[in-house]
Structure 1
Amino acid sequence: MSIRDIIEGKKEWRAHVARVKALPKDYQIVYKEMQKYFFKVGPVELTDGTDLLSGIVDLFEEGAAQGKDVLDVTGSDVAAFCDELIKDSDTYADIWQEAADQEVNRAMKMSQDKRK
């Protein structure tokens, strides 16, 4: 990654943050909670760009322009809304589950081998 790419990425992120700050306060609150959710358990691809987050801002800008309450846009279960957005993506939670399953399977196999 070149210096130019880093600078361009920062410009894009700053523009994104400015769009979020321009949203009504209730939309900003829900967006920030969704962002935290995605950063904790969300799609692995999120680290490569902001397409998902930009899409949410697009949706929120449209909802705000129509005078909708943010929960009319997302539904009352915001976590379920987030899960639906990433349902076909690999998540960190999936990776952790797979690693835990592999570790248990390996431990069980070793235990069975010792009994033989």
Structure 2
Amino acid sequence: MGIQDIIEGKKQWRAHMARVKALPPDYRIVYKEIQRYLFKVGPLDLLDGHLLPGIVDFFEEGAAAGEGVLALIGEDVAAFSDGLIKDSRTFADVYQESLGREPGTAAEQRP
């Protein structure tokens, strides 16, 4: 990754965040919660993909239509976020695989 790639990435991120700041306050709050959740859960292609800009597009359309943000996504922000990444490989999956387990299975507990 060259310096030009880093500069371009920063420009894109700043433009993205400017769009987020232009959203109504309730949309901004929910977006930041979704973003925080996704950064913790970690789909591998989060920053390279179109997920976050797609959420902003969806929110901009909802705000323009006069819809409340919870009317669009439902009451459970985490469930909405999980639905967005249900077919994506996550850092949690990679970690589980590194431990030699199938993703989504818990380790046996010893008494």
Deviation at 1:73, TM superposition (A): 1.1
What residue number does 2:52 align with?
53
Deviations 1:87-113 (A, max 9, x none): 1100122223333444xxxxxxxxxxx
In the alignment, is residue 97 of structure 1 matched against residue 93 of structure 2?
A: no
In the alignment, is residue 66 of structure 1 matched against residue 60 of structure 2?
A: no
Question: CA 1:50/1:12 → structure 2, altered by over 3 Å: closer, same or farther?
Answer: farther
Deviation at 1:50, TM superposition (A): 5.0
Deviations 1:16-71 (A, max 9, x none): 00000000000000000100100001311114x25110000000000000000001
User: Which of the pair is proportionally richer in helix?
Assistant: 1
What residue number does 1:77 align with?
76
Is the Cα contact below 8 Å between 1:42 and 1:86 reproduced in 2?
no
Measured in 2, the distance between the counterparts of 1:2 and 1:85 equals 31
Measured in 2, the distance between the counterparts of 1:95 and 1:89 equals 12
What residue number does 2:9 align with?
9
Measured in 1, the distance between the counterparts of 2:28 and 2:91 equals 25
Structure 2-normalised TM-score?
A: 0.84
What residue number does 1:31 align with?
31
Residue aligned with 2:45, SS: helix
Larger Rg: 1
Partner amino acid for 2:50? D
Measured in 2, the distance between the counterparts of 1:17 and 1:87 equals 25
Question: CA 1:95/1:45 → structure 2, altered by over 3 Å: closer, same or farther?
Answer: same
Structure 1-normalised TM-score?
A: 0.81
Structure 2 gap ranges (5+): 102-111
